[in-house]
Structure 1
Amino acid sequence: MIKSITRLAVTGVAVATVFAGTVSTAQASEAGVLITDKKISLRDGRGTMTFFDDGDVFQVCDTKADGHGVSGRLIDDAYREKVYIEDGGDAGCDKKGYDVGQFASYQMQLSWNGGDPEVHSGWFNE
């Protein structure tokens, strides 16, 4: 009888541990927690904005020579602009660093300076 109760208790702890790990992972994904780099792109190949988690660097690239540049912004969950990067008219992409923390959520916004609607990333943090 005692062996059965001990086995039942051990099995219960194992199941609870697996379930707790699953819930934590699911909650992290639903909250938009950053797991790796992020990238958003404008339609028609006009430009990109990339967040490189290693070093917390944001890069904006104008990828189409059409006479208009692209603008990227990073905003926090209070809708305050933290980073503004413009690229266009020169070779290469423009970059800026910003330390993305765990206590706020952030969103990247990318726009083509020729008038199309903005593209937004999901909300994320570290």
Structure 2
Amino acid sequence: MVNPLARIVLVAATAAAVFVTAATPALAADVLVSNKVIKLPGGRGSMTFIDDGDMFQVCDTKADGHGVAGRLIDNDYNQKLYITDGGDANCGKDGYNVGQSGSYQMQLSWNGDGYEVKSEWFNE
């Protein structure tokens, strides 16, 4: 027969181990990942904010005869960056220091019909 106190300790230790195992990857991901990506439906393209160096990359990922255009706007709706891509093998890239004052939003549109996706507002 198992001591009731030993059983309680064993159950508590097992629960704690499961919690730590389940929580650790999620916590690490939240802390380490600060890049942002938005994607157009149908695999048409993407826009990525690369936090290390404050680079923005716009990629046309579907050879459909139309390109994609990415914009970075500030919280006063001023356009800070405009990047296009289409018709070549490389993605369009440009840098802009978003800093910690103010908020920014990425907007990506497909030049075929103007369909647009937007990121959440962010800063560093």
Higher relative contact order (CA 8 A, sep 6+): 1
After the TM superposition, list the runs of 4 or more consecutive aligned residues in structure 1 that deviate by more than 3 angstroms: none
Shift of 1:116: 4.2
Q: Aligned residue for 2:123? A: 125
Q: Which structure 1 residue ranges, 5 or more long, are not aligned?
A: 1-34
Q: Aligned residue for 1:103? A: 101
Deviations 1:53-112 (A, max 9, x none): 000000000000000000000000000000000000111101000001111100000000
1:66 to 64, 67, 70: 64
Shift of 1:117: 2.1
CA distance in 1, matches of 2:50, 2:42: 23
1:92 to 86, 90, 93: 90
- In the superposition, the TM-score normalised over structure 1's length comes to 0.72
- In the superposition, the TM-score normalised over structure 2's length comes to 0.73
RMSD over aligned CA atoms reads 1.3
1:44 to 33, 42, 45: 42
How many residues get paired?
Answer: 93
Q: Which structure 2 residue ranges, 5 or more long, are not aligned?
A: 1-32
